[in-house]
Amino acid sequence: MNDLMTTTSVLGSRERRDHLLARLGHRRMEHRVAPGLYRLGGPDRSSPVFVSANYTLSFDALRSALHGIDAYILVLDTKGVNVWCAAGKGTFGTDELVERIEATALAERVDHRRLILPQLSAPGVAAHEVKARTGFSVEYGPVRAADLPEYLSTGATEEMRRVTFPLRDRAALIPVELRNVAYEVILAFVALFILGGIVPASIALTAVLAGAALFPILLPVLPTDDFTSKGMLLGALASMPFALYYLMTEPGWHGVVYAAGTVLLMVAVTGYLALNFTGCSTYASRTGVKGEIFRYIPSLVAMAVVGLVMIAVTVAGTMLGWF
């Protein structure tokens, strides 16, 4: 436990491959580094101590940001989960930090009593308790490890303390979003293709792509306030080509029923997927999400049921010669 491990600030092809696989959702919980104390460069008794999670993306973001800096990195056992989520669960927490400081005999390695933690670990760590239990003062560094060099030289700016959700970060989540629904989508696509051909199958695929891929990209520009209504709006837009197709190709009221049913179903599916994106965002609150669930789930279910029944009755009735 008392061993000092060595790391570098250089990321190579092995790390890039690991990061790509993590982003693709491959073996999500297995992108881990060994917890413990690491030496970066040639630290001495006055070198800074940074604390990180044992998720490769977290640890690698930290060490690559510290290029040219001699430091210690204390890696907590967060079960392979990133800093912010682990802090929310409490695994990046006061107890784990205190135990890790003791297990690595950190106090014997350095003369100072100062730790730099990522700002987003604060939901799990009580700085004053760490101080009382170990003598180490906790300093919260910037939200993003990339800001560390500037933080170390000039201190925190307002901007460094704020979490954002830029396009790049939203887009990075799309592969895992798609992976989470892949099984259901393939099933729906095949079933609908057999039952009704390429158009119904494409409708299912489009609704899911709109909710899981287009929605994260368009999140800030969709002109309503909450996630679900943004998704419903997107679902309605995505359904328009299919609705028009049915209105133009199916004669009489059948076309109207198929078009209306398609709109209802796509709004429901895309809206539901959008609601499920709340946890991936950097700003949804539990109270807000609870409110959305109660506000929208009943109407989403109603739309899906009505849409499905409308289409099913019309298809079945036509086949059986009722109409």
Partner 1 sequence: MMTTEQESVNGLNTLRFLPGRCVRCGRCWEVCPHGVFAPSERKARMVAPQRCMECGACQRNCPAGAISVDAGVGCASAMIKAALTGSKETSCGPECCR
Residues 22-51 that bind partner 1 (CB under 8 A): 28-29
| The two structure tokens encoding residue 309 | 């029944």
Residue carrying the six token digits 């895309």: 270
Instruction: List strands edge to edge, sheet with 4-7.
Output: 4-7, 36-40, 71-75, 49-52, 114-117, 137-140
Nearest approach, Cβ of residue 250 and partner 1 (Å): 35
- Report the residue from 11, 21, 98, 127 that binds partner 1 according to the rule CB under 8 A: 127
By CB under 8 A, which span of 40-48, 83-91, 244-252, 310-318 interacts with partner 1? 83-91
Give SS3 for 142: coil
Residues 292-311 that bind partner 1 (CB under 8 A): 292-293
Residues 6+ apart with CB under 8 A from 238: 206, 207, 210, 214, 266, 270
**Residue 277 sits in the site that holds partner 1 (CB under 8 A):** yes
**Residue 199 sits in the site that holds partner 1 (CB under 8 A):** no
**Residue 124 sits in the site that holds partner 1 (CB under 8 A):** yes
Number of residues that bind partner 1 (CB under 8 A): 48
**Residues for the chain: how many in total?**
323
- Report the residue from 81, 243, 257, 311 that binds partner 1 according to the rule CB under 8 A: 81
- Report the residue from 73, 177, 209, 238 that binds partner 1 according to the rule CB under 8 A: 177
- Report the residue from 88, 133, 205, 213 that binds partner 1 according to the rule CB under 8 A: 88
**Residue 89 sits in the site that holds partner 1 (CB under 8 A):** yes
**Residue 158 sits in the site that holds partner 1 (CB under 8 A):** yes
Alpha-carbon span 86 to 120, nearest angstrom: 10
CA distances to 156, 239, 304, 308 from 312, in Å = 60, 18, 12, 6
φ and ψ at residue 70, rounded to 5 degrees: -85, 125
Which amino acid belongs to residue 261?
G
Write out the DSSP string of 212-269. Answer: IIIHHHHTTTSSSSSHHHHHHHHHHHHHHHHHHHHHHHS-HHHHHHHHHHHHHHHHHH
Q: Where would I find the beta strands (DSSP E) of the chain?
A: 4-7, 36-40, 49-52, 71-75, 114-117, 137-140
**Residue 9 sits in the site that holds partner 1 (CB under 8 A):** no
Q: Which is nearer to partner 1, 140 or 193 (CB)?
A: 140
Nearest approach, Cβ of residue 148 and partner 1 (Å): 16
Nearest approach, Cβ of residue 29 and partner 1 (Å): 5
Alpha-carbon span 305 to 323, nearest angstrom: 22
**Residue 21 sits in the site that holds partner 1 (CB under 8 A):** no
Nearest approach, Cβ of residue 217 and partner 1 (Å): 14
**Residue 82 sits in the site that holds partner 1 (CB under 8 A):** yes
Nearest approach, Cβ of residue 291 and partner 1 (Å): 9
- Secondary structure letter of residue 119 according to DSSP: G
Task: Please report how many Cα atoms fall inside a 13 Å half-sphere around the Cα of residue 220, on the Cβ side.
Answer: 11
- Report the residue from 39, 161, 254, 295 that binds partner 1 according to the rule CB under 8 A: 161
Nearest approach, Cβ of residue 313 and partner 1 (Å): 28
Residues that bind partner 1 (CB under 8 A): 28-29, 81-82, 84-85, 87-89, 119-120, 122-128, 140, 143, 156, 158, 161-163, 173, 176-177, 180, 227, 275-290, 292-293
